[in-house]
Amino acid sequence: MSFLSRLFGTQADPRDELRPLWFRVIEISRLPEYYAKSGVADSVDGRFDMVVNVLATAILRMEKSRALKGKTALITELFVEDMDGQLRESGVGDMVVGKHMGKLMSALGGRIGALRTAFGGGDMEELAQVLERNVHWREDGGDPASLAARLHALHQDLASRSDEDVLAGRIAR
């Protein structure tokens, strides 16, 4: 879809189909148990970590579907759009937004790769180690094994859902 088509509204935004899933990713990443029970820091960094963890898990599910695989770029665009807005709202200027976005995209790509390996092997200890290295924890400590169990449950839930349910955000209910 071209910029002009979007600007003048001559075509529907193809990302609209992914918005229910994106909104559900955000909803899931804000669940209190990640912070209260698993010890993820309830901070900007900790919340970003959870958005990336949940989104990466959803993208990995999408990659397993012929129908959804090509749509992973669209949900990634929603992530970029949201993070760009968050950065600007927090006062990051135009001159450095691109640099910050590069770091955020790198974090998402790295997490997808790390979770792909950990989920692929089915090793909960490996998943906990990935999370221990890649999550901001509360000052009084976190529980990577607890977070691994929660993300593994989300991964299994996503695997059990139809493509239509995934797109509609009917996951982890």
% of the chain surpassing 90 pLDDT: 68
CA proximity to 147, closest of 135, 161, 157: 135
pLDDT category at 97 given cuts 50, 70, 90 is: low
Q: Is the pLDDT of residue 53 over 90?
A: yes
pLDDT on residue 11: 77
- What mean pLDDT do residues 23-28 have? 97
Residues 26, 51: Cα–Cα separation, whole Å: 6
CB 155 within 8 A of CB 123: no
CA proximity to 110, closest of 83, 133, 86, 87: 133
Residues 74, 166: Cα–Cα separation, whole Å: 14
Encoding tokens for residue 13? 């935004």
| pTM for the predicted model, two decimal places | 0.88
Domain-wise residue ranges, the chain: 14-167
The pLDDT tens digits of the residues spanning 127-169 come to: 999 999 999 999 999 999 999 999 999 999 999 999 999 999 9
